[in-house]
């Protein structure tokens, strides 16, 4: 059983979540989400952008697990950074998921290309709706994703509620120190997307050596490092054996020296720059 973090709003969140990015809508997203819940995941991460909420929602429903035992996250995409946009986007996500509420709703991206000259206002307005939806019970916790320090500081100027979570790219060799430090200081749970380096860590010689040393797999060592740092990893797989493997790592006791080596692993893809990305 995976334990939980307590967020700054007092609610809890399972320390490992199941990622669904690129799990194709239909059988793939449905079966993999169902397998994940069967394997013991109680935290599912999807997004409107992934276009698989309908299949993920069906798997949640068919899993037979009580709704209040599952933690479900979805995200507001880049076409909805306004009060009315966020209202419509959340309603559409809830309908596709067939849920009355989500446990966590995130602003997926801080600086969409279409509103690059007024992203601060876009985030503030979407957030204003999210605070209302939280009060109305449509969302339990509200948070952000891919926010850097200047995005968090801009949001703080108008927000009544501090984000409970910031979901950012964090993987071996990809450690965003400035925003990680800010989130720790403000008691914001740091979720790690791409915790397996989106696949790139599997061919890394240093990661392979560490896997051998701990008698575990590369994926398991990377996930153990994520928890070591106090992050919340969201590994994705559509394969049953890997889905199970990615939950079987909490017995690993990384040494401080090895954790440091993983943090500084060479050759990792850096996190995308949210202020210049082409979407």
Minimum Å distance from CB 163 to ligand NAP?
13
Burial of 129: CB neighbours in 10 Å, binned 0-12, 13-18, 19+: buried
> d(Cα 137, Cα 133) in Å, to the nearest integer?
6
Helix, strand, coil shares, percent, the chain, to 5:
45, 15, 40
Tell me the pairing of strands 43-45 and 18-19: parallel
| Region near ligand NAP per CB under 6 A, out of 2-10, 80-88, 116-124, 235-243 | 235-243
Tell me the pairing of strands 165-169 and 139-145: parallel
Q: Which of 219, 224, 232, 265 binds ligand NAP (CB under 6 A)?
A: 219
Q: Which of 63, 134, 146, 176 binds ligand NAP (CB under 6 A)?
A: 146
Q: Which of residues 103-122 bind ligand NAP (CB under 6 A)?
A: 108
Cβ atoms 238, 32 nearer than 8 A: yes
- CB closer to ligand NAP, 55 vs 237: 237
Burial of 260: CB neighbours in 10 Å, binned 0-12, 13-18, 19+: exposed
How many distinct helices (H) and strands (E) make up the chain?
10, 10
The footprint of ligand NAP on this chain (CB under 6 A) covers a number of residues equal to 27
Going by the DSSP 8-state scheme, the letter that residue 72 receives in this structure is E
> d(Cα 101, Cα 10) in Å, to the nearest integer?
18
Catalytic residue among 5, 30, 41, 50: 50
Minimum Å distance from CB 120 to ligand NAP?
20
Minimum Å distance from CB 195 to ligand NAP?
5
- CB closer to ligand NAP, 84 vs 275: 275
Q: Which of 183, 195, 216, 258 binds ligand NAP (CB under 6 A)?
A: 195
Q: Which of residues 63-82 bind ligand NAP (CB under 6 A)?
A: none
Q: Which of residues 148-187 bind ligand NAP (CB under 6 A)?
A: 167
Residue 214 appears among annotated catalytic residues: no
> d(Cα 189, Cα 204) in Å, to the nearest integer?
28
Q: Which of 13, 14, 15, 20 binds ligand NAP (CB under 6 A)?
A: 20
| Region near ligand NAP per CB under 6 A, out of 33-41, 126-134, 195-203, 261-269 | 195-203
Residue with tokens 């050596």: 209
Residues that bind ligand NAP (CB under 6 A): 19-21, 45, 108, 145-146, 167, 193-199, 202, 217, 219, 234-239, 242, 245-246
Active site residues: 50
């Amino acid at each position: 059983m995976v334990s939980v973090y307590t967020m700054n709003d007092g609610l809890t969140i399972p320390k490992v979540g199941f990622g669904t990015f690129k799990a194709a809508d239909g059988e793939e997203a449905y079966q993999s989400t169902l397998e994940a819940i069967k394997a013991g995941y109680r935290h599912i991460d999807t997004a409107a952008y992934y276009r698989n909420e309908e299949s993920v929602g069906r798997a949640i429903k068919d899993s037979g697990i009580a709704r209040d035992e599952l933690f479900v996250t979805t995200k507001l995409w880049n076409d909805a950074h306004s009060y009315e946009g966020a209202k419509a986007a959340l309603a559409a996500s809830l309908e596709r998921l067939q849920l009355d509420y989500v446990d966590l709703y995130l602003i997926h991206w801080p600086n969409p290309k279409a509103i690059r000259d007024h992203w601060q206002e876009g985030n503030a307005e979407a957030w204003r709706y999210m605070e209302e939806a939280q009060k109305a019970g449509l969302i339990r916790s509200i948070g952000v994703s891919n926010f850097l320090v200047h995005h968090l500081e801009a949001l703080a100027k108008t927000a009544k509620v501090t984000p409970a979570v910031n979901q950012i790219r964090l993987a071996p060799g990809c450690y965003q120190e400035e925003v990680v430090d800010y989130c720790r200081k403000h008691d914001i749970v740091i979720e790690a997307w791409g915790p397996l380096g989106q696949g790139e860590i599997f061919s890394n010689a240093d990661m392979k050596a560490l896997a051998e040393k701990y008698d575990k797999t590369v994926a398991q060592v990377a996930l153990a490092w994520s928890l070591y740092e106090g992050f919340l990893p969201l590994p994705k797989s559509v394969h049953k054996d890997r889905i199970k493997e990615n939950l079987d790592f909490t017995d690993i006791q990384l040494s401080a020296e090895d954790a440091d080596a993983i943090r500084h692993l060479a050759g990792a893809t850096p996190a995308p720059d949210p202020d210049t990305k082409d979407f």
